Amino acid sequence: MYIYETAVMKQQYVRLTKAFDLKKLKINYACKALNNIAVLKYFKSLGSGLDTVSIQEVKIGLLAGFNPDEIIYTPNCVSIEEISQAVELGVKINIDNLSILEQFGHLYPDYPVCIRINPHIMAGGNSKISVGHIDSKFGISFHQTPHIHRIVKAHNMIVEGIHMHTGSDILDIEVFLQGAEILFQVAKEFTALQYIDFGSGFKVPYKEEDIETDIEELGEKITKRFKEFCKSYGHDLTLMFEPGKFLVSQSGIFLVKVNVVKQTTSTVFAGVDSGLNHLIRPMLYDSYHKIVNISKTEGRSRIYTVVGYICETDTFGVNRKMTEINEGDILAFYNAGAYCHSMASNYNSRYRPAEVLIHEGQDYLIRRRETLDDLIQTHVNVDIFDKVEVTV
């Protein structure tokens, strides 16, 4: 079961908004991190907009009550047909490659667009989650700005925003500011901008001694520089950010039950009733999640390697020290609010778990556990196979 606390989400949202002393600031929650409609509704109640990356997320955002102009759609490697659906729904469009920009200009010259720039900056340390490096599939290289202008001019397009995203786990604020300067250079070449979107990727702590993005320092430095740019530009623009993990990661925990304690010649395994189908980040990104035996908060400690029940290598944590584990104990995985349920699957025909939201001291079921009917509801039962005789 995944459990989320709105109090933590609000705390992170307020902290971020207070870090920037600007007349026009818009936080767009990146719903790919956690896309339950109840969570989206909560962020709307806080005043957030919505950052989406697929037409399905756009439609879920509309179902959650967001107005079209509160949603920005930033897809990657999708067809012009999908982007056309977003145009029909009236949301903000963010385009990240020259081919689509040219097709869009031909089809919708009067529809305002945002352009995603790749500044070739890596402000984070994990190459697996960085999207700003020179070989990234995301964004249009800032070296290709002249080509952008040729397309925009040829179709008389309306460019209302400029965007960048350097990836997750931003630690080096000075490097992030270098990316901002590149974005300012590009932005000043467009005369009708309404906003500049700096993306997000702010790092949150996963361990007690872990470091995180200094939001207050970043806010102070970006605020000063952004005000200077707006003054030189001639009017106040809106500064946008699109945080996902920063807002929800620490709000969530994931509860699993220990199926078996298995000792080999060198390792004591705690095998749980979950796997990479429910929490893929450790196997996909080498991510660390704190694990606690909440069935026994005190007592003797032992060293365990916590693994899942999937027929693959699905290790959650190696050589973790925690209070002695018995079969049936409940383990809690921390920082499970972001990219856990949203990346879950039915691999091995396993069901996806329930989600619970804690709001003002009350718990609410916001997604039930799946059943076999859910698992097979899209299967089409075709009766086309006659009995086949097999000769041995």
Q: What positions carry a catalytic annotation?
A: 311
d(CA 339, CA 356): 16
d(CA 75, CA 83): 8
Alpha helices per DSSP H over 193-329: 215-233, 245-248, 281-285
Residue 77: which region, alpha, beta or left (left: phi > 0; alpha: psi -120 to 50)?
A: left
Question: φ, ψ for residue 304 (rounded to 5)?
Answer: -130, 150
Buried/exposed code over 301-329 (b: 16+ C-beta within 10 A; e: otherwise): eeebbbbbbbeeebebbeebebbebeeeb
d(CA 363, CA 301): 31
Q: Which residue has the tokens 């879950």?
A: 344
The dihedral built from the CA positions of residue 77, 175, 32 and 348, taken in this order, carries a sign that is: positive
d(CA 215, CA 13): 11
